[in-house]
């Protein structure tokens, strides 16, 4: 697998976390790969062969070739049908709502073709430009022109949502929401409503995912550390709480994650963060 990340233009760096590309040659024995929640929304262009996303058991859909992958609350499986070549934009949790009028909660746990969210003619032109671009740098130039143009007439993201997410990231997901809204019940309810509209999940869910990301990176990059050490450094109450959250969001245990071939793609994504 050849996975690379690229940083956005300064005018977009508070909204776009990174651009990424993934290239995988045709495999004679393809395996399903489990994708786990990361708190981000992605715009993905599939430039290679089709990719299946399993919905239940052996039932699957073919992912749209130009899509928005909304917030995922639980893990899911994908499987390539041949050559993998993808280009994607990874938005911060509050980032994508700067570009659309659609409530972000309507995008949760599914792929939405980009032509359903933007003007159909312009998205068709965008997709063709991305397909025919000569390299990743040209693709980044094309998508940044598209995003910056969309941003001109959009109001900035609600400050209460952005500041809450900034606190969650800076504290690795452990800041109590009550401390952010000063235990004001009406402010908490307002925050939770705005989170669903602009992020697609609750502040508590996002905090859990961010904390799990911290633990997951430690698990991948410091495999010699014990689970107790990882749980402690990631601010879990104890190892049992860490393992429970890990299973809730990945569908497996930390030890099984490290040796599971179906986790190779997720491992690659997280180890490169």
The CB-side HSE value for 265 (13 A sphere, CA atoms) comes to 22
pLDDT band at 153 (very low <50, low <70, confident <90, very high): low
Look up the CATH number of domain 208-271: 1.10.10
How high is the mean pLDDT of the chain? 85
CATH class of 2-151: mainly beta
Q: What is the spatial distance between Cα 219 and Cα 216, in angstroms, rounded to a whole number? A: 5
How many C-beta atoms surround the C-beta of residue 147 within 10 A? 22
- How far out from the chain centre does Cα 44 lie? 11
Closest CA to 72 of 209, 268, 264: 209
* Per-residue pLDDT at 10: 85
In degrees and rounded to multiples of 5, residue 23 shows phi and psi of -130, 130
Model confidence pLDDT, tens digit, residues 209-235: 888 888 888 888 876 678 888 888 888
- How far out from the chain centre does Cα 268 lie? 14
pLDDT band at 16 (very low <50, low <70, confident <90, very high): very high
pLDDT band at 60 (very low <50, low <70, confident <90, very high): very high
pTM over cut 0.85: no
- Containing 6, the helix (H) or strand (E) segment is strand 2-6
Long-range contacts of 101-107 (CB under 8 A, 24+ apart): 103/196, 103/197, 104/41, 104/70, 104/71, 104/196, 104/197, 104/198, 104/199, 104/200, 105/196, 105/197, 105/200, 106/70, 107/41, 107/68, 107/70, 107/71, 107/200
DSSP string, 144-188: HHHHHHHHTTSPPPPHHHHHHHHHHHHTTT-S-HHHHTTT-HHHH
* Per-residue pLDDT at 180: 63
- Containing 86, the helix (H) or strand (E) segment is strand 84-91
**27-52 mean pLDDT:** 92
């Amino acid at each position: 697998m050849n996975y690379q990340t690229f940083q956005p233009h300064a005018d977009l760096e508070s909204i776009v976390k990174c651009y990424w590309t993934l290239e995988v040659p045709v495999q004679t024995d393809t395996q399903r790969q489990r994708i786990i929640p990361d708190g981000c929304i992605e715009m993905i262009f599939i430039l290679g062969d089709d990719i299946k996303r399993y919905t239940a058991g052996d039932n699957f859909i073919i992912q749209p070739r130009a899509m928005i992958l909304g917030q995922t609350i639980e893990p899911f499986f994908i499987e390539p049908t041949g050559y993998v070549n993808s280009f994607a934009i990874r938005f911060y949790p509050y980032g994508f709502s700067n570009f659309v009028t659609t409530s972000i909660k309507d995008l949760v746990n599914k792929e939405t073709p980009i032509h359903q969210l933007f003007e159909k003619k312009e998205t068709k032109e965008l997709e063709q430009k991305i397909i025919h671009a000569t390299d990743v740098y040209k693709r980044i130039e094309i998508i940044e022109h598209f995003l910056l143009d969309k941003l001109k007439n959009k109001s900035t993201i609600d400050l209460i949502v952005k500041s809450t997410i900034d606190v969650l990231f800076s504290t690795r997901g452990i800041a109590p929401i009550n401390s952010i809204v000063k235990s004001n019940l009406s402010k908490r309810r307002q925050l939770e409503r705005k989170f669903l509209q602009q992020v697609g999940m609750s502040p508590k869910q996002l905090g859990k995912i961010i904390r799990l990301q911290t633990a997951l990176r430690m698990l991948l990059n410091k495999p010699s550390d014990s689970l107790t050490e990882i749980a402690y450094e990631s601010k879990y109450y104890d190892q049992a709480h860490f393992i429970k959250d890990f299973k809730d969001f990945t569908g497996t245990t930390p030890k099984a994650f490290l040796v599971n071939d179906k986790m190779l793609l997720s491992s690659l994504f997280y180890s490169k963060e």
